[in-house]
Amino acid sequence: MKAVVTGGTGMLGKKLGKALLARSEITKIVLFDVVDPGDTPKDSRIEVVVGEVFDPATIAKLITPDTGAIFHLAGVVSAGAERDFDLGYRVNLDGTRVVLEAARKLPKPAKLVFASSLAAYGGDLPDVIPDEFRLTPQTSYGIQKAMGEMLVADYTRKGYLDGRSLRLPTIVVRPGKPNLAASTFASSIIREPLAGQKAVCPVSADAWMPLLSPRRCIEAFMRAYDLPSSDWGWNRSLMLPSLDVTVGEMAEGLKRHSGAKAFDLIEWKQDEMIAKIVAGWPKRLDSKRARKMGFQSDTSMDELIRNYVEDDMPKAA
């Protein structure tokens, strides 16, 4: 059976590719993305394919009759989708529809896991978001993700695929360089000081951030894939558990791990656009359904930072 990962050469896509290698039922893994950085996992079962997710001809060649698993991670991130309205809709909405249409043509419904986002919430939010809270996104990215969830649910309802959508918290700590996501600073203020470099924090210390480490995120993707369809029922969207902390608490976690010298490398410099976007996101999550289904979050900033150091922090020569 073939597994297809869109957004497959990104940070999470590469980690997911490695996790899929452990599955005996999966004989081929295709990592699909708009670029090939050349650092994807090296294994005879892994193939890297480059193309645009919104191109039907490309995706039709990608999702072939032997495809049984699809992980749809490809997307233009939050601030990028807000800055470029047309690109955001072309990739995040049109691309999702193209992937679902290709899956619809398979001889047997494939399992499809869709990476949604907490940006699907917005507006006047309570301090704690329960599972049943309405979706009222206030950014183009959040709206595109909410529409993607609805599409996955409808294609599942019609029997075209077996879909599951995960609303991801902010993933921290991401290795590598900052991206265009409004939340990219959340990784930078940990990652850069750990490397002895300065980092700018564009929001205040009292801003809340629901977090999930890459390690826990990949565990969530695999659990979403493994759970039988009956466990999901009619509700195919799930708010993942998170570690809910303020940005100040994140910085204090860094201080506990690496001392005042690392803490002092954070420069607090407000960016009104980023601060406004972040202020519109949920603060804390009450993910009872996800925890009942066996999904887990990191338990502390100490664990979250430790996961990064063990999994992704460049080792000293």
Strand-pair category, 170-171 with 208-212: parallel
List active site positions: 141
In degrees, rounded to 5, the angle at the alpha carbon of residue 278 between the alpha carbons of residues 276 and 283 is 130
Beta strands in the chain (DSSP E): 2-6, 28-33, 46-50, 67-72, 111-117, 128-130, 162-168, 170-171, 199-201, 208-212, 237-239, 243-246, 266-268, 284-286
Residue position matching structure tokens 């406004």: 276
How distant, in Å, are the alpha carbons of 72, 121, 153, 158, 205 from that of 283? 26, 11, 26, 35, 13
87 token code pair: 């690109």
Distances (CA, A) of 190 to 171, 202, 243, 313: 12, 14, 15, 11
Helix, strand or coil, per DSSP, at residue 295: coil
**Encoding tokens for residue 133?**
């809270």
Residues near 230 by beta carbon (within 8 Å), at least 6 away in sequence: none
Token code pair at residue 51 = 């193309």
Beta-carbon-side half-sphere exposure of residue 170 (alpha carbons within 13 Å): 29
Place of tokens 């601060």: 275
Q: How far out from the chain centre does Cα 8 lie?
A: 12
Before 173, cis peptide (omega within 30)? yes
